[in-house]
Structure 1
């Protein structure tokens, strides 16, 4: 399998280098080694990325903590830990083998290596890094995983030691078994390369067809390790072949990726909103006909809503902020608690939920549970939380690292009317995870429609006559920054200024509940922008995560309140608007100006003062400013709405620490998968903080009696 370059080895030092001092010679050795090692810099970059994700983020610690959780069958802790060991071996073996192969190809015999210690030990250390990363992440995650961390560290040391002793072991075997010759070892290496490439292809096929179960069995860390562990052989093999053929194969692939992206205007891509690669997606979706206008929806709600005759009827509007699964689980927790504590009265006065990003998962879980089984056998809140608390990250990550990454280097084949022949994207994998989340919860709660989240969104308001609150799922259009709202009602500019109705942009093409959730929850990197295609396949821009516009959902909530007040006045249908803001940004101090609302005097000193960033400010400053602008847009809306409503505006905020409790290093991170420990922190926050308990009690007190 070894195909060495025909030119002299690159690593031996030029004789003229003898005039250099030791420092210069050492530096020159390192530079020449790196410049001639092919895929090794890419391998190092990939390993650094893995290390940062596990050790440099809150999400990494929480993912490691999930190894402790209880589960059954393929979700049992021992399965997750076994998968971690297996994928660590896979990634470590790939990093060692290919970096070692590149050293041998570039530098020839071991005696010619300069610096020898670096070229000999660097591949071994790369091979041990996955074990070290896993051990360190586990140690960061909690106090009960010391044995797992020690096991991973011991395996890493043992793996590196085995690699260091490999040559002497091979020599002993060859002395005892002469048949174990160098040619035989080369055949084994060739078999390993072919097996790696075959496994990469098999995983590509499996993830393309069924991304959820396999990915959730591996877990997010296992998916990350396996993905990178199979990307390395493919990239290294491509670079290896390019060096043999004297062709810039890697450069050619990069050019092709740019070319196919540029040609998307004519051939399309695999990111159409609601697309399914193997059918059942947007091009097969039903028409979303018969949607009511906002005045019609308000009139229908008012006629059915409870309230004493002649008195204004309480009309509740909820704004569920974004924040991945943390936001979804927080929204599900608070809404479920209100429904349980009120004996089911809360939903009767709930008119609409305006949601952004992950908050849309919790909002949709609440509305779906009301539609399918409003009592849930006496465990309504638990059922809603179970739907919103699934592992959505592993399938999305699998979709990103396998079919969606491969598709970037392949052309799509137009099939007419916007449909294309292409691999599935990571958006499809995430949406299938949403669908499985609902189906899984139906194993514990009686459901009339176990595949409800695979059905069209408008089905949530069909069937039984019970009233289901309206959903307003907020996204943003990439090209002009406008809100893209997906809802049961027609989103008209009269009630929602400068907003785009998703169904108007797609000519009333309906899409699955899971895809509708994703219209507002296209988390950066985890999900691509979804192309809005009409019935003829014409694009109308891309929908992004609603958090790009503003992350609270309050802009649309304010539009709902104002439109309802106008309609109530025009038709003599009096209402008492109540707004509940569900904020899950637990990393912000409770005294931050971001939480100023009516009834709280602003701290002008806090408004004026601010930390100042200096690190790469010329480069990163504009990006940081754009990211901060979403809060700058939401806070004035919240303040003005709170001033209008006075005591009928409620801020219910997630905090990692209960009132009076000792601060804990454990937090609920913003991620698409949460450990049970993070979920417990979120559940406790709704009833262990005085401000939240008071707000919940006041909302329930405002509800009409039965």
Structure 2
């Protein structure tokens, strides 16, 4: 079949007139897209600041929770919602420290950019040819972008406050829950209202600068600072002498940039007290905008990637000269080789419990394994141990006063969780002596360090804290050990750490890194508590967290548990253990870890931290805890120097290896029974990962000891999220394995007479939907995140405190608490049958 060609006139009829118009329209649209892309590229530093803030407040639980401190006005947890000065102060902080720098920097970047100037000239010339004066669309983009960026800073906080509502835990105190919900909702509206207010300010500020006296002042300021502006390259362009960002605005931006440089050298702890938590966020995101924005403009002017070059130069500098992440050391009071040997430690513990002459009569030695989880773990570890130290209060029952003045009554005998026989067998003064050691990981190590320091600070049996509670704790008065230890671990350690991350560690040089700032925050908070305690504390113990780790030898008359703080070696992947116990011991029997009997390793395939540094060096107690608590971003890997320039290893968070601390705990137990077989150790695991609880429950329910996984059907970026997720899951997976192994060994040894030899006290999961207990349900539910950072909001503190309260629902620790009381009152003889010594 012959196909006739179609006449162009026929085939294009009805389209020939449209095609040039459509092409021109698409070309104009594409041109506008390119214009907009160029503007965003020029203002990329302010844009990145705002985008990062939006992402942080949208997706990170820890960032969202800082809005709680503002929403609740820093004090009463049960107060009704109402506009407070704290909310207005946050609004002002966002306005001054984030929105204005972002807006001014974006404005200045566009006014001084040659590329934008050339486009503006061409666009205006084309508009003039069409009878107009300016290209209105391009001018509108130039005006709107900085204003919108500034306004979005308030939207970020509104999103954070709104998302924080979904993070609120389920509390027995319903009024406190309702108040927190309402206050967060109000804060979100207050912050959202800041966006149009700021936008209105940007519209009206031009009118203010046109007022006679202000205009004259700005002009005079411009003349006086013309040389400075010209030298910096931020003067008004010759073709735009009436630039919207006047001399006053340029000076404000310049002063803010200088302030950031001053912050680098100033005390971040002082700054953290002035701008705590949510107030620090605007400075962290806005502080670098003027400096980095200016450097990006210089790079664009000279066609040199200055920001990329500085990043590479910094990386090379760190490689050549080293970083500022060295583990802090100090001169040792006692050389490391004089640490307490395990045989001596067991003897000292028996003397403290009055049973050195009759070991079979000794109580069961309690070894606490404190799992990792930043402040959440530290607070919960302190709370659990404090609960049992308060035995005398539990005997009679007591009332607990919240910060809002409401009282909660506790029944006698810890709500009936120990018997009259246990009450007769125990003495409150002896509870602390029952704890032989605490094996900590990450935040659990911090909690362990605070417990040890507080026990060392006591002058009698009372807790070394003042009667009045500090602002950071959710309660009203400090009436016992639990209140005291919770208060000591409830401080704001996040702000100074993030100032270090945002400022100090970007410059390094002679400045302390963020790990050192975290340690100093711990030291300061502990010292404030002890110094305010008066006669209840030993004044010279206020600095205990800042003094040498090995500087306090064990004293049977004032017993303090030994500490085993577990980190992870970057070089070998093994544990690095920081402990005041000698790493080897002699035994007449077999070595549980293998090797010759005279040189038994206390911990199998573990590196002794003090064996890596010179024998005349030690670390502070706070640093010993940080050796275990160096999780990503918040704390850098710590460089361990054997000599001044010789890095032998780098230490990271102990949770990389095993997040429960149980592996070291069971090795202590094995060594103890090899040294003295008539002792029957008991392990208390303080776990605080709700997700791991669900996994453990499903594993037990399977009957085979193997959990049936239930991965989501759809996952993004599995090449990245898969390995990262696996690393995160392994930390708890190895912990659960260690718990199973420890339970098997303890039950094999003592189970015939003592059926319970290891218990876990847990932070139980809550379903996202309504906060109910999802344990035991066939279909796993999405559970609420529990914030894990170096600060805890008051509702999270209350939730952790309530984990030990007697409840009727299946998510409770009643059985575990009762088992611990029973273990504390049980003599070893009841579990060993009086095994003869070997």
TM range (shorter): 0.7 to 0.9
Structure 1 residues 297 and 71, CA gap change in structure 2 (3 angstroms) = same
RMSD: 3.2
**1:696, CA displacement in angstroms?**
1.6
Indicate conservation of the 8 Å contact 2:457/2:542, yes or no: no
Structure 1 residues 309 and 618, CA gap change in structure 2 (3 angstroms) = closer
Counterpart of 1:674 (choices 772, 789, 792) is: 792
Structure 1 distance, partners of 2:104, 2:333, is 48
Is 1:67 the equivalent of 2:124?
A: no
Report the number of matched residues.
Answer: 652
Indicate conservation of the 8 Å contact 2:218/2:246, yes or no: no
Is 1:236 the equivalent of 2:293?
A: yes
Aligned to 2:377: 327
Counterpart of 1:100 (choices 88, 104, 107) is: 107
Structure 2 distance, partners of 1:578, 1:464, is 20
**1:650, CA displacement in angstroms?**
0.3
Aligned to 2:475: none
Aligned to 1:549: 657
Indicate conservation of the 8 Å contact 2:330/2:548, yes or no: no
Counterpart of 1:370 (choices 455, 460, 463) is: 455
Structure 1 residues 362 and 114, CA gap change in structure 2 (3 angstroms) = same
Aligned to 1:520: 628
Structure 1 distance, partners of 2:683, 2:387, is 16
Structure 1 residues 576 and 386, CA gap change in structure 2 (3 angstroms) = same
Is 1:620 the equivalent of 2:721?
A: yes
Counterpart of 1:270 (choices 324, 337, 343) is: 324
Structure 2 distance, partners of 1:285, 1:101, is 57
Aligned to 2:311: 254
Structure 1 residues 529 and 610, CA gap change in structure 2 (3 angstroms) = same
> What TM-score do the two structures reach when normalised by structure 2?
0.72
> What TM-score do the two structures reach when normalised by structure 1?
0.85
Is 1:213 the equivalent of 2:270?
A: yes
Structure 1 residues 644 and 610, CA gap change in structure 2 (3 angstroms) = farther
**1:643, CA displacement in angstroms?**
2.2
Is 1:580 the equivalent of 2:677?
A: no
Structure 1 residues 137 and 612, CA gap change in structure 2 (3 angstroms) = same
Structure 1 residues 337 and 70, CA gap change in structure 2 (3 angstroms) = farther
Structure 1 residues 293 and 179, CA gap change in structure 2 (3 angstroms) = closer
Counterpart of 1:485 (choices 549, 563, 577) is: 577
Indicate conservation of the 8 Å contact 1:34/1:40, yes or no: no
Q: Which aligned pairs between 1:403-422 and structure 2 lie closer than 5 A?
A: 403-407=504-508, 412=509, 422=510
Structure 2 distance, partners of 1:150, 1:133, is 12
**1:285, CA displacement in angstroms?**
8.2
Is 1:568 the equivalent of 2:676?
A: yes
Structure 1 residues 23 and 305, CA gap change in structure 2 (3 angstroms) = farther
Larger CA deviation: 157-166 vs 520-529: 157-166
Is 1:440 the equivalent of 2:528?
A: yes
**1:320, CA displacement in angstroms?**
0.4
Structure 2 distance, partners of 1:550, 1:175, is 68
Structure 2 distance, partners of 1:168, 1:396, is 42
Aligned to 1:188: 248
Aligned to 1:507: 614
Structure 2 distance, partners of 1:180, 1:624, is 56
Unaligned stretches of 5+ residues in structure 1: 1-16, 275-280, 413-421
Larger CA deviation: 455-464 vs 39-48: 455-464
Structure 1 distance, partners of 2:447, 2:463, is 16
Aligned to 1:650: 759
Q: Which aligned pairs between 1:291-302 and structure 2 lie closer than 5 A?
A: 291-302=339-350
Indicate conservation of the 8 Å contact 1:282/1:511, yes or no: yes
Aligned to 1:497: 604
Is 1:530 the equivalent of 2:638?
A: yes
**1:259, CA displacement in angstroms?**
1.0
Structure 1 residues 167 and 466, CA gap change in structure 2 (3 angstroms) = closer
1:307-334 deviation line (CA, Å, top 9, x unaligned): 6763464011111000110011000100
Indicate conservation of the 8 Å contact 2:325/2:636, yes or no: yes
Q: Which aligned pairs between 1:62-141 and structure 2 lie closer than 5 A?
A: 62-69=65-72, 78=85, 82-83=89-90, 85-104=92-111, 105=113, 106-108=115-117, 109=120, 111=134, 115-141=138-164
Structure 1 distance, partners of 2:710, 2:163, is 33
Structure 1 distance, partners of 2:766, 2:194, is 36
Structure 2 distance, partners of 1:114, 1:375, is 72
Indicate conservation of the 8 Å contact 2:682/2:757, yes or no: yes
Q: Which is higher, the Rg of structure 1 or of structure 2?
A: 2
1:61 is paired with a residue whose SS is helix
Structure 2 distance, partners of 1:517, 1:451, is 15
1:542 is paired with a residue whose SS is strand
1:607 is paired with a residue whose SS is coil
1:346-396 deviation line (CA, Å, top 9, x unaligned): 321111111011111211111111111152266222111111111111110
Structure 1 distance, partners of 2:525, 2:448, is 14
Larger CA deviation: 115-124 vs 130-139: 115-124
Aligned to 1:3: none
Aligned to 2:550: 458
Counterpart of 1:361 (choices 424, 446, 469) is: 446
1:662-687 deviation line (CA, Å, top 9, x unaligned): 64998641111011111111101112
Indicate conservation of the 8 Å contact 2:698/2:707, yes or no: no
Q: Which aligned pairs between 1:160-199 and structure 2 lie closer than 5 A?
A: 160-167=199-206, 170=209, 173=211, 186-199=246-259
Structure 1 residues 175 and 695, CA gap change in structure 2 (3 angstroms) = closer
**1:613, CA displacement in angstroms?**
5.5
1:13-49 deviation line (CA, Å, top 9, x unaligned): xxxx998454554344334543465552232222222
Q: Which aligned pairs between 1:372-391 and structure 2 lie closer than 5 A?
A: 372-373=457-458, 374-376=461-463, 379-391=480-492
Structure 2 distance, partners of 1:284, 1:536, is 16
**1:567, CA displacement in angstroms?**
1.7
Indicate conservation of the 8 Å contact 2:787/2:796, yes or no: yes
Indicate conservation of the 8 Å contact 1:519/1:530, yes or no: yes
Counterpart of 2:502 (choices 391, 394, 401) is: 401
Structure 1 distance, partners of 2:88, 2:207, is 32
